[in-house]
Amino acid sequence: MVSSEQRRRQLARDKYERQMERRVAAQAARKRRNTILGASLAVVVLAGGGAAIGTGVFSSDNKSKNDTAAAQPAPTQAVPTALTTPTRKPVEGCTDPAPGKPNGKQWQAEPAMTVDAAGTYTATLDTNCGKVTITLDAAKAPHTVNSFAFLSGEQYFDHTKCHRLTTNGIFVLQCGDPTAGATSPGGTGGPGYKFADENLTGAVYPAGTVAMANSGPGTNGSQFFLVYKDTQLDPKYTPFGKITGGLDVLQKIAAAGTLEGRPDGHPMADVTLNSVTTAKG
C-alpha cells in the first residue's frame, strides 16, 4: 500500500517532470521562432532587390563589395516590401508634385538609335524637391542614353515616383517606374522592352553616378538610380551619366530617411519627377 508520504513524493516528481517538459518545449518553440524570424528578415532584405535601390536601390543576388553594403539589396527592379500608409512628414524644399499621372506607354522593342555617340547630351530631372541635371555618356553607353532620351521625349518619366531610397551601405535614390504610386509600391514596371548592359568593365559608383537598375544581365528598361554618396557595388549596373547639378537635392531627400523608418524603403519625401527632358549639348 502506498503511504501518504510516498504519494506526496510521487506527485512532486510528476509536477517536476511536467515543468521540465514545458521548459524544454518552450525553449524549442523559441528556437523555432528565432529561426523563422531570421529567415523572414533575410527575405525582407533580399526581396528588396528585384531590379534595384528592391529592376530595387535595388537584384537580390547582387551583393556589394563590403560587408555593410552586402546587407542591403543592390539597385534592382523590385521593392523592399509592400507600401504601407505611415504618415509622411514635410521635407524642407519639397513641394506638392505637379498634377498629372504617368502615361504608361509600352513598346515591344528597343527604340531605333537616334543619338550621336560622339555628341554630348544633358538630362534635366525637374522634381518636386528641386532640379537635378545629368551629363549623359553616349560614347560609353549609347543604347542606354538612346533609350533614356527616347523615353524622356515620350514624356514617359513625367509624373512618376522615385520609389526607393537606401541609406546604409548602398546610397541611392531609385526612379523610373511608372507603376509606383500612392497605393502601389512600384519596383517592377518598365517600358515593355529590355536592352543589353553597357559600360560595365571597371564600373564604379561614386557619388553623382547615374546607372540602370536591373533584374539580371540584359534586363535594362526604364528604372535607374542616382548615387548620392560613394557606394560599393559589383559592376553589374550600366553607368550612363554623371550628376552635374542637384546632388544637394538628393542628399536632402536622403537625410529625411524613408517612410518606413528602415534603411531601405520609400523616401519620406514624396519624390516625383514632374518632368524629364533630354537635350543635345
> Which residue, among 91, 266, 99, has the nearest Cα to 184 in the 3D structure?
266
What is the secondary structure of 3-26 as a DSSP string?
-HHHHHHHHHHHHHHHHHHHHHHH
pLDDT computed for residue 281 by the predictor: 86
> 51: pLDDT confidence band, cut at 50, 70 and 90?
very low
Whether the predicted pLDDT of 83 surpasses 60: no
pLDDT digits (tens, 9 = 90+) for 161-179: 999 999 999 999 999 999 9
Mean per-residue pLDDT, 29-53: 36
The whole-number pLDDT of residue 90 equals 86
Residue 20 corresponds to which cell in the numbers above? 521540465
Cβ–Cβ < 8 Å for 164, 173: yes
Section 212-237 average pLDDT:
97
Helix or strand or coil: residue 251? Answer: helix
| pLDDT of residue 34 exceeding 50 | no
Each residue's pLDDT tens digit, 269-279 = 999 999 999 99
- The DSSP call for residue 268 is S
What's the pLDDT at 84?
Answer: 54
Reported as type and span, the H/E element at residue 37 is helix 4-47
Task: Please say whether the beta carbons of 205 and 233 come within 8 A.
Answer: yes
Asked if residue 79 has pLDDT above 60, the reply is no
Question: Percentage of the chain with pLDDT > 70?
Answer: 68
What single string gives the DSSP state of each residue in 93-150? T--PPPS--------SSPPPP-S-TTS-EEEEEEETTEEEEEEE-TTT-HHHHHHHHH
What mean pLDDT value characterizes the chain? 81
> Hey, which of 29-33, 61-65, 238-242 has the most confident mean pLDDT?
238-242
Mean pLDDT for 124-143 is 98
pLDDT of residue 61: 30
Instruction: Give the helix/strand (H/E) hosting 28.
Output: helix 4-47
What's the confidence (pLDDT) of residue 185?
73
pLDDT value at residue 240: 98
List the one residue out of 116, 89, 37, 48 whose CA is nearest residue 279: 116
Mean pLDDT score, 188-206: 97
For 52, residues 6+ apart whose C-beta sits below 8 A from its C-beta are 58, 59, 62, 73, 74, 75, 76, 77, 78, 164, 170, 172, 174, 213, 225
Identify the pLDDT of residue 165.
Answer: 96
Out of 79-88, 99-108, 204-213, least confident range: 79-88
* Cα distance between residue 75 and residue 215, in whole Å: 9
Kindly report, residue by residue over 52-73, the tens digit of the pLDDT: 433 543 432 333 333 333 344 5
199 band by pLDDT with thresholds 50, 70 and 90: very high
